Structure 1
Amino acid sequence: MSDFTNTDVQSQLAPSRIGQATVVEQSRAIAEVQAAIVVAQQCPRNIAAAIAEMRQVCGQETLAKKAFFRFPRGGTNVSGPSIHLARELARCWGNAQYGINELRRDDDAGESEMQAWAWDVEKNTRVSATFISPHKRDKRGGAEKLVDLREIYEQNSNVGARRVRESIFAVLPDWFIEEAKEICQATMSGKSSGKPLERRVADAVQAFQGFGVTVDQLESKLDRPSGKWTEKDLGELLVIHGSIKTGEVTVEQEFPSKKVTAAELTAGPEKSDG
């Protein structure tokens, strides 16, 4: 009977030698966590101040324009609050940490094992997600394999940012997030600027003209004439405009050309009654 034990397995799996730098890093990480807990207990968050700062930063156009994302998936468009908004809300809320770690990279399998996490240090509430990030980029003709180290890094960062965003929102109060979204939408639509709604509608139409999008296309998108657009409609248009500008979606995806049927092509010009 073999005397091979679990201890033997662990000794073979563990590194044969741990360098001094590794030991120092482990000690530093432990001390950093302990210090964060002590600081959070000694300096608890001021919720009133957190709300005030959130309202102030969400009223800034610079953040509002980056507060939402929009991209195509499965023939539809997915939208929601962005990682930029999540990070800013975590900063305003205070005593919160978050991050993304690459646990393992397998170049032979073409994938990385990643972990995204967020931690409310004061409440000791931690959310984490471990997932596999394939070294591939989705394209219309099929997935493209990535081999360049910089492209792999950017792919892992993009995938990880989405998981970090969800982790941050999981440790923040829902009411805090919802109010921030409402303020950002109002800021984006220009409601807080004091401009009349008609002026802001005209500005939105002009902005889309730079992409070659007509008023008719915008009205078809919102399913109502421009004279009846609401604050919410303007907010949606500005999210679309920002997503087109950053390359998350294309003009063709948001405003597809009207397909002409064979019957319309073969039909002759309509005859007048005169």
Structure 2
Amino acid sequence: MTTLDQIQQPRTPVTQTTAVEQARAVAEVAAAVRVAQDNPRNRDRALGEMRDSCGRLALANRAFYSVPNRGNGPSVHLARELARIWGNVRYGVHELSRNDETGMSEIRAFAVDLETNVESTRTFQVPHERMVKKQRSKLTDLGDVYLNNQNIGARAVRECIFTVLPTWFTEEAQDRCNQTLRDGEGVPLDDRITQMVDGFRGAFGVTEQQLEDRLGRKRGQWDAGTVAQATVIYTSLQRGETKVADEFPVADAPLGVTAAEITGKPTNGGA
């Protein structure tokens, strides 16, 4: 079923206002298809622009995510940029319904290549909840529900975009972004390491020792690949996709060590 077919088949009886809006949406999509077919993409131009964009830290720093329990990979920011560069790609997220009584929303994410009529969609139920310390916590604030739906929808639209884009195009883009993170646009590695350590300390209170533990090697052993890995973690923290406590858990104290020994203060008020 194409995008036009889905728009033309309403899920429930609609009002006259809704019917007018549906007709407008059908006309808008039909016009976009005609424009795409009259102005086919230039693959050589798209390839050149992709290589240029992925060679810049402004994109490379946002091109990947790293989230505990969800893994890592290319981000929605990279997906949207590649869709823009490839051209004639339409994508989005629609909230089809929301039921505050049952605490559930229905979300639809889609991406379609208007030239080839290749389409990818995801329709799914989203509970008005978030995981807090591995436990479900209900969301009641309207802003929290909206942001939760948008965050989950963004992950779904990312998968839709990568489905309709050519594999060779997205893989080269990821390779070039990784290379840019390693090269740092010519900034010396020692300077980038210093900036990274200062950035983690200033923004999140993460110490150099915590970074060494998280990255699995001492500062003197860090290379460009290590800095690239840390950059992905830093960006995920900035976007709120993960938390400092998840990325840098505090190690448990050794058995037999008391709080007084750790803090240097007596626990009973004695001298």
Whether 1:214 aligns to 2:207 is: yes
| Matched residue type, 2:201 | Q
CA deviations 1:49-100 (Å, max 9, x no partner) are 1111112222333322222222222xxx622211111111100000100011
2: CA distance between counterparts of 1:216 and 1:31?
A: 59
Whether 1:202 aligns to 2:198 is: no
Aligned to 1:67: 63
Aligned to 2:140: 147
- Shift of the alpha carbon at 1:141? 6.9
| Matched residue type, 1:209 | R
Q: Paired residues, what number? A: 249
1: CA distance between counterparts of 2:12 and 2:217?
A: 65
Aligned to 1:38: 34
2: CA distance between counterparts of 1:236 and 1:78?
A: 13
Written as runs of structure 1 = structure 2, the 5 A alignment for 1:69-148 is 69-73=65-69, 78-140=71-133, 142-148=135-141
| Matched residue type, 1:38 | R
Whether 1:176 aligns to 2:169 is: yes
1: CA distance between counterparts of 2:12 and 2:137?
A: 35
| Matched residue type, 1:193 | E
2: CA distance between counterparts of 1:80 and 1:141?
A: 22
Which of 232, 240, 265 aligns to 1:239? It is: 232
- TM-score, normalised relative to structure 2: 0.82
Alpha carbons 1:186, 1:231 under 8 Å: kept: no
- Shift of the alpha carbon at 1:118? 0.4
Secondary structure of residue in 2 paired with 1:249? coil
Alpha carbons 1:57, 1:63 under 8 Å: kept: yes
Aligned to 1:48: 44
5+ residue gaps in structure 2? 1-10, 262-271
**CA 1:264–1:145 in structure 2 vs 1: closer, same or farther (change >3 Å)?**
closer
1: CA distance between counterparts of 2:134 and 2:60?
A: 34
- TM-score, normalised relative to structure 1: 0.81
5+ residue gaps in structure 1? 1-12, 269-274
**CA 1:247–1:22 in structure 2 vs 1: closer, same or farther (change >3 Å)?**
closer
**CA 1:185–1:14 in structure 2 vs 1: closer, same or farther (change >3 Å)?**
closer
| Matched residue type, 2:170 | I
CA deviations 1:176-209 (Å, max 9, x no partner) are 11222222233334x1422232332233233233
Alpha carbons 1:118, 1:126 under 8 Å: kept: yes
Aligned Cα root-mean-square deviation (Å): 2.4
**CA 1:257–1:141 in structure 2 vs 1: closer, same or farther (change >3 Å)?**
closer
Which of 151, 157, 163 aligns to 1:164? It is: 157
Secondary structure of residue in 2 paired with 1:86? helix
Secondary structure of residue in 1 paired with 2:116? coil
**CA 1:257–1:148 in structure 2 vs 1: closer, same or farther (change >3 Å)?**
closer
| Matched residue type, 1:50 | A
Return 213-222 or 82-91, whichever deviates more: 213-222
**CA 1:144–1:215 in structure 2 vs 1: closer, same or farther (change >3 Å)?**
closer
Return 87-96 or 233-242, whichever deviates more: 233-242
Secondary structure of residue in 2 paired with 1:31? helix
**CA 1:145–1:250 in structure 2 vs 1: closer, same or farther (change >3 Å)?**
closer
- Shift of the alpha carbon at 1:25? 1.9
Written as runs of structure 1 = structure 2, the 5 A alignment for 1:251-270 is 251-263=244-256
**CA 1:53–1:14 in structure 2 vs 1: closer, same or farther (change >3 Å)?**
closer
Secondary structure of residue in 1 paired with 2:109? strand
- Shift of the alpha carbon at 1:132? 0.1
| Matched residue type, 1:203 | Q
2: CA distance between counterparts of 1:250 and 1:147?
A: 22
